[in-house]
Structure 1
Amino acid sequence: MDHDNELGEMIPHTITRYRNHSLKEEQTHVAAEVPLTFEVNDREIATLMCTPSHLKAFACGFLFTSGFIKAADDILGMDLDRKKWRMEIRVRDLMDPDLLGKRVYTSGCGKGVMYTSMMELSGRHPIESSVRIPGEDIIRTMGWLQKCSTLHNTTGGVHSAAVSVNGALPGFHIDDIGRHNAVDKIIGTLLMEGTDCSNIVLATTGRISSEILHKARRLDIPILASRGAPTHQSVLLAEEMGITIAGFVRRTNFAVFTHARRILAR
């Protein structure tokens, strides 16, 4: 994994605390946020607000989930200009953005973008995965994810994402101010490491909306889990795509909205 975070994921800041009818200055930290521009084969593709870490994984994941590349090795090189927050990327064959369809700006923090034709293509064929995960493993994974992020625990300003393989605790997590950015960074990492995604659970602290679902579908991820809720559109799409959605994951229970056959009671 790349931890491209020279700026730092959080910035010190002095605040004034109101408590018990008094005011007092104290030190805290806020989550860092930068506008990162992706320039691919000398063509500007998008500028996204993000946390300045795992930026190579972010570029790979974004280009893949947006349909610009088909695999990590389609990327020939990446250079980051930290003064301008510009990532210059070279790929084998750049898909013309005009051919990918209309841009759809995604919901939530960190404002992302997807392309309508890629959204349509991602759902054409249902996932055929025989993986089955004990419900307790979903709960353990989400509990781990909620405790592992120093950035979230310190600033409260980011979302976290991780992957569990065959129900095991995740080996890493990634934070970002945007929940879809965190997912792109996870997907980029999986692509660059050549991970088999047929038996993984993608866990996220943010709600599961349709754009998150489309991103997971691009990599044939069979199970999505979140402490938050899915949207009605993501539930409808997950039924068609063959993806299992587990929402409202708590210490003792969660709700399976689609394809419950993949969740084992014991």
Structure 2
Amino acid sequence: MDLIRQSEVIRWKDGEYETIKEFSVNDEYTYLFIDYLPPRKFSTYPVDLEDFAIGYCLGEGLIKDYSDIESIRVDGTNILVTTTLSHDPEEDLEQEGIVQQKKGNCEHACVCRLLEYQGVNSDNAGGIRSDLETIEPIQSDLTVDATQIIKDIKHLTDEAKIWQKTAGVHVAQLKYEDKVIIREDVSRHVAVDKVIGAASKEGFDFSRCYISYSGRMPADMLIKVIRVGIPIIISNAAPAASGIDVANAGNITMVGFVRDNRFTVFTAPERINLKK
């Protein structure tokens, strides 16, 4: 699959124009099948899809850790995940308050009913599992130096190879001690899912990890990060008010507007060494 496309375009600047070659990223629909649940549909940059699937399951509370994954098979842009928990469609019906079909009824009809209801769309943006009642406040004592935050965002930019070439993706970076994982995707959610999934496979202690990424910080993003137990999230962009509320509820440190030599700490500032 050719993931980078080159097009002939016209660039205008200061009253002059010229024909140039421009690169763009190919985004593809990816379908995620988890146990007996209906598929979720995502627009992705279709690499590191196994990492994405694991991170998605963790962030949505479908598994507790990597050991709950029984198998993963990537077939093109379809991802088939089997967990030890054997999720079924009735869980989604219960989450949404839809009247359940009785056990004796056809399971296929039940699945079709859900597909019609959900439109097979991704549920990690304000999704059905994004419920504050399921989140425990984070107790990690991890700290990060202020100067390190500036270095992390610079490293994020320097290593974002697809972004450098196309400016068409988000990039996420997860740090654990001296280890760094970087992933890119057209979706900021999927980029974060990918680094979470990759870190889970490596057995990283999430309470000692933190994430830097390019993108806004609304409630749904904060919920998935808190749910896996990561105590610090850093972005060059802005938070939403909903994100600040969730960060406070989950006791996560939220740092935004990391630009040039400055940043803003919105919540739980005790994890940032401001004098360093």
The alignment's TM-score, normalised by the length of structure 1, stands at 0.85
Give the equivalent residue in structure 1 for 2:238. Answer: 229
Letter of the 1:12 counterpart: Q
Q: CA deviation at 1:202?
A: 0.6
Residue from 188, 191, 213 that aligns with 2:197 = 188
| Equivalent AA in structure 2 for residue 243 of structure 1 | I
Contact 1:69 1:94 in 2 (8 A): no
Residue 19 of structure 2 aligns to a residue in which SS? strand
Measured in 2, the distance between the counterparts of 1:126 and 1:74 equals: 23
1:38 corresponding residue in structure 2: 32
Candidates 144, 148, 165, aligned match of 2:159: 148
State the partner residue of 1:72: 66
User: 2:254 matched to 1:241?
Assistant: no
1:115-134 superposed Cα distances (whole Å, 9 cap, x missing partner)? 444422443x2111111211
State the percentage of identical aligned residues: 24
1:159 aligns with 2:153: no
- Alpha-carbon displacement from aligned partner over 1:105-151 (angstroms, at most 9, x marks no partner): 9xxxx98445444422443x211111121111111101111221121
Q: Name the SS for the 2:38 alignment partner.
A: strand
Q: Which has the larger radius of gyration?
A: 2
After TM superposition, the runs of 4+ consecutive aligned structure 1 residues lying more than 6 A away are: none
Q: 2:36, 2:86 within 8 Å by CA — same for their partners in 1?
A: no
- Contact 2:253–2:268 (8 Å) recurs in 1: yes
1:111-130 matched pairs, under 5 angstroms: 112-123=124-135, 125-130=136-141
SS of aligned partner of 1:53: coil
| Counterparts in 2 of 1:11 and 1:122: CA distance versus 1, 3 Å | farther
| SS of match in other structure, 2:131 | helix
Specify whether residues 230 and 113 from structure 1 end up closer, same or farther in structure 2 by C-alpha distance, changes over 3 A only.
Answer: closer
> How much does 1:8 deviate?
4.5
Q: Which residue identity is paired with 2:64?
A: K
* Equivalent position of 1:3 in the other structure: none
- SS across alignment from 1:190: helix
For residue 171 of structure 1, give the secondary structure of its aligned residue in structure 2.
strand
Structure 1 stretches of 5 or more lacking a match? 1-6
Give the structure with the larger helix fraction: 2
Give the drift of 1:17. 3.0
**Structure 2, unaligned stretches of length 5 or more?**
98-113
Distance 1:188 1:8, change over 3 A: farther
8-17 vs 248-257, greater mean Cα deviation? 8-17
- The amino acid across from 1:157 in the alignment is G
Are residues 22 and 59 of structure 1, via their aligned partners in 2, closer, same or farther at CA, if it must alter by over 3 Å? same
Contact 1:9 1:151 in 2 (8 A): no
Q: Which residue of 2 aligns with 1:88?
A: 80
* Whole-Å separation in 2 of the counterparts to 1:22 and 1:135: 43
Change (3 A) 1:242 1:112: closer
Aligned counterpart, 2:261: 252
Q: Aligned partners of 1:172 and 1:66: how far apart in 2?
A: 21
Distance 2:161 2:127 in 1: 33
TM-score (norm 2): 0.82
Q: Assess if the C-alpha contact under 8 Å between 2:253 and 2:267 holds in 1.
A: yes
After superposing the two structures, state which structure 1 stretch, 171-180 or 41-50, moved more.
Answer: 41-50
**8 Å CA contact retained: 1:67, 1:100:** no
The answer to whether the 8 Å contact 1:141/1:164 transfers is: no
* Distance of aligned partners of 1:111 and 1:67 in 2 relative to their CA distance in 1, 3 Å threshold: closer
State the AA in 2 paired with 1:154. Answer: K
State the match for 2:105 in structure 1: none
Instruction: Give me the CA root mean square deviation.
Output: 2.4
2:43 maps to 49
Counting matched residue pairs gives 250
Letter aligned with residue 137 of structure 1:
Q
